[in-house]
Amino acid sequence: MTTLAAGAQTGQNATLPSPPPRWLAISAVLVAALFWSSSFAVTKVTLADIPPMTVGALRFTGAAVILGLIVHLRRERVLPSRRQKAGIAGAGLLGITVYFALENVGVDLASASDATLIVATYPLITLVLERLLGRATFSPVRLSGMLLAIVGVAMVVAYGPAASTGQDHHFVGILLLLLGGVAWATYNLVAQRDGSGCSAVVTTYYQTLAGAAGFILLSLFEAGQWSAVSGGSLLRVAYLAVFCSVAAFLAYNFGLKALTPSMAVNLLNTVPVAGLMWAVVLAGETLTPGQVVGGGVVILGVTLGMARTRSQPCTEPIGDPAPTVPPAVVRADS
């Protein structure tokens, strides 16, 4: 799942640059989806060598350094005030530290394939939270989709390899991943209130900086577990920082310059499918037929649950798919 920050691009130039070719924009979003879909499997393998909070600290510290360099080189003119920085930092602690702490521990206790399919339901969790706040309505189609997604998640849990062995930690991991969905949804609602007028890169930089600081503090509780780390694990952490947390964000935002919101969202539906592939190839996981069917039910349920009438604008946030979509630019984001 990397974090996408809500923020409106503002500029002083009267002439806006031409959008990229459509094929290039589609390719950019697909590249972002490919990076995001691999993050669960890469994290799962890395956790065998590095504890979860330390993984988060290394990943997001690296991402913050890269984003800081980008902000400096771009010479961003619109920067947040001190008060706005505090609000952005709060969102970063929620959307990065809290969310990814739950995700990392959840992936450690469950599996990369579980995380891939459960994170696919996060947009629906956001929709439920919006409904509770009176900001969204449920049509019969959306309600049917939500019920289908719940059935799909139940199948993923019930038919997973760990379920047959009665491993309690597997179910705890599933619960943490679902709680991560609540944190993700809350982050999206908070991030949408950002009125700093900064670019998405600037806002994401300050959120990532705050999230990294939160992870550094949490990682101190794992100091007793620190040991020599293999070169392979360091490369995997670098991949998470460079490609899943920065490159995917930049590629996705590049694609948004020439794509409609619905097109970008539809392209991100490839994340669960690709995520299962990475879970098998990178993490060496085995998928059961029940998991595959349950995953299909989840994807169908999410598709129906996010359906809109012609009069409804596309305003739900996307996350890392990180998301998963992660956490989020306005779905114009997982």
For residue 181, give Cα distances in angstroms to 124, 258, 306. Answer: 9, 29, 16
Spatial distance between the Cα atoms of 9 and 332, rounded to a whole number of angstroms? 13
Spatial distance between the Cα atoms of 240 and 296, rounded to a whole number of angstroms? 27
Beta strands in the chain (DSSP E): 320-322, 324-325
What integer pLDDT is reported at residue 264 of this predicted model? 72
* Run of H or E including 298: helix 289-305
Mean pLDDT of the chain: 82
Q: Is 317 helix (H, G, I), strand (E, B) or coil?
A: strand
The token duo for 64 is: 């913050």
| Helix, strand and coil percent figures for the chain, each rounded to 5 | 70, 0, 30
Q: What is the pLDDT of residues 169-197, one digit of tens each?
A: 888 999 999 999 999 989 988 877 777 78
**Amino acid letter, 290:** G
Please compute, for residue 8, the number of CA atoms within 13 A of its CA located in the half-sphere on the CB side.
Answer: 8
- Report how far Cα 284 is from the mean position of its chain's Cα atoms: 22
- Residue 211 pLDDT > 80: yes
Q: What is the pLDDT of residues 129-176, one digit of tens each?
A: 888 888 777 788 878 888 888 888 888 878 776 655 556 788 899 999
Contacts of 16 (CB under 8 A, 6+ apart): none
- Residue 209 pLDDT > 90: yes
The token duo for 145 is: 């989709």
Contacts of 275 (CB under 8 A, 6+ apart): 37, 38, 40, 41, 112, 113, 115, 116, 117, 321
Spatial distance between the Cα atoms of 333 and 66, rounded to a whole number of angstroms? 22
The token duo for 204 is: 């994401």
Mean pLDDT value of segment 274-302: 88
The token duo for 264 is: 């970008």
Question: Higher pLDDT residue, 272 or 60?
Answer: 60
Spatial distance between the Cα atoms of 325 and 122, rounded to a whole number of angstroms? 8
pLDDT-based confidence at 252, cuts 50/70/90?
Answer: confident
Looking at residue 17, the DSSP 8-state letter turns out to be P
Q: Is 31 helix (H, G, I), strand (E, B) or coil?
A: helix
Q: What is the pLDDT of residues 71-90, one digit of tens each?
A: 999 888 788 888 899 999 99
Spatial distance between the Cα atoms of 247 and 294, rounded to a whole number of angstroms? 31
The token duo for 79 is: 């920067």
What integer pLDDT is reported at residue 324 of this predicted model? 34
Start-to-end C-alpha separation, the chain: 8
